[in-house]
Amino acid sequence: MAKVNISNMLQTDNITMQFGGIRAVSNLSLNIKPNQIVGLIGPNGAGKTTAFNMITGVYKPTTGKITFNDHDITGLKPNKITELGIARTFQNIRLFSSMSVLENVMLSKHVRLKATPFEAILGLPRYTRTRKKHYEECMELLEQVQLADLADEKAISLPYGKQRRLEIARALATQPGMILLDEPAAGMNPQESLELMEFIAKIRDEFNLTVLMIEHHMEVVMGICEHILVLDHGETLAQGTPEEIQNNQKVIEAYLGAVDESA
């Protein structure tokens, strides 16, 4: 098995996910350095979401190893992986739609709350202090993602682009070192996609984040990612810089040509 390279924040060594007769991901090896923005692309059914599910603990890889910040996280439970600093968003927005914007973020940030349930029930001073700090930190986070003026609005009442941003804010509330974004630009028009790109670059810098994103909008992927990995039928077709990927004949034939036509 490959040696862990400590300059990598996330390293997957030949991870494979087998569902009965279907090999959804085959021997995926991905090395991501701190603060990089990395794109995971490929046609429908290529295995992208399955790769996310292995990294975030939804599935235990059939074989292979995943290392995050020197920890072997292979097969750990999702909540443990969140605690270690990996957060994610989903292809279909998952918010508590009838709760307010602020409540959505506060619930997510609970992962980092220091008070015990016992202190909370009795309303002990440490809990009261913790709750005040918790509220202030969540409001500050909403300021940073430009949603503070909507803090009391129900999540469902937000326009689509802002719901996406709230979902990212919920992920940020867990104080991750790395964030996995599953098709953040899905359903967005070109202007919204452009704003999203600027937003992702801004949060990467402000929150000192490493980003791994699945995306079909090629202008987003090519515009923001420093490294791209292309999956096809679970196999790694290519990896490299945006320029290398755009000029890779295998990728053009299997994927990029088709995407450009449908765009």
Site residues (vs ligand ATP, CB under 6 A): 19, 22, 24, 42, 44-50
CA distance 127 to 52: 35
Dihedral angle at the C-alpha atoms of 80, 83, 89, 94, nearest 10 degrees? 80
Tell the smallest beta-carbon distance from residue 106 to ligand ATP (Å): 30
> 50 or 82: whose CB is closer to ligand ATP?
50
CA distances from residue 128 to 101, 108, 119, 133, 152 in whole angstroms, order as listed: 22, 18, 9, 9, 21
Cβ-based nearer residue to ligand ATP, 7 or 44 = 44
Q: How far is the CB of 18 from ligand ATP (least distance, A)?
A: 9
Q: Provide the minimum distance between the beta carbon of 14 and ligand ATP in the complex, in angstroms, as a whole number.
A: 17
In sequence order, the β-bridge partners of residue 227 are 38
69 DSSP 8-state letter: T
Partners of residue 40 on adjacent β-strands: 214, 229
> How near is the Cβ of 262 to ligand ATP at its closest, in Å?
13
Distance CA 56, CA 139 (A): 27
Q: How many residues does the chain have?
A: 263
Residue 93 beta carbon to ligand ATP: minimum distance, rounded to whole angstroms: 15
Compute the least distance from the CB of residue 192 to ligand ATP, in Å. Answer: 20
Q: In the complex with ligand ATP, which residue's Cβ is closer, 6 or 22?
A: 22
In terms of CB distance, is 147 or 214 closer to ligand ATP? 214
Closest approach, Cβ 255 to ligand ATP, in A, equals 11
- Which H or E run includes 162? helix 160-172
Cβ neighbors of 5 (< 8 A, separation 6 or more) are: 11, 31
Nearer to ligand ATP, 44 or 262 (CB): 44
Structure tokens at 86: 């990996």
Nearer to ligand ATP, 24 or 158 (CB): 24
Nearest 5°: the CA angle 180, 183, 186 is 150
Whether the Cβ atoms of residue 253 and residue 232 lie closer than 8 Å to each other: no
Rg of the chain over CA atoms, in angstroms?
19
Report the residue number, 34 or 45, with the smaller CB distance to ligand ATP: 45
Per 3-state DSSP, what percentage of the chain is helix, strand, and coil (rounded to 5)?
45, 25, 35
